[in-house]
Amino acid sequence: MPQLPVAGALIADEERAGRYLRVSSHPEFDRVVLSVWQHDQCLATVRLDRQSVSDLICGLARALVARPADAVRRRVAG
């Protein structure tokens, strides 16, 4: 498991054991870094500026709201 950042989050993958999304703040560069980890190995990173973080938050919110009703029913019935 990757180290928990001082400012950020560590989010476990719901379907793949040992996979995490690490969100870390790098204020010295005015960036937030998203990294994908498998156990203790970093597989990929994405560096975001402030506007990109805002765009990501909006995109995540839209993705939650836009779920079709039948997908919700399948998940509840599942």
Question: So what's the pLDDT on residue 71?
Answer: 63
Question: So what's the pLDDT on residue 22?
Answer: 96
Q: What is the pTM of this model?
A: 0.77
Percent helix, percent strand, percent coil in the chain, to nearest 5: 35, 35, 25
CB 22 within 8 A of CB 5: yes
pLDDT in tens, the chain (78 residues): 777 777 899 999 999 999 999 999 999 999 999 999 999 999 999 999 999 999 999 999 988 886 676 665 666 665
CB 30 within 8 A of CB 50: yes
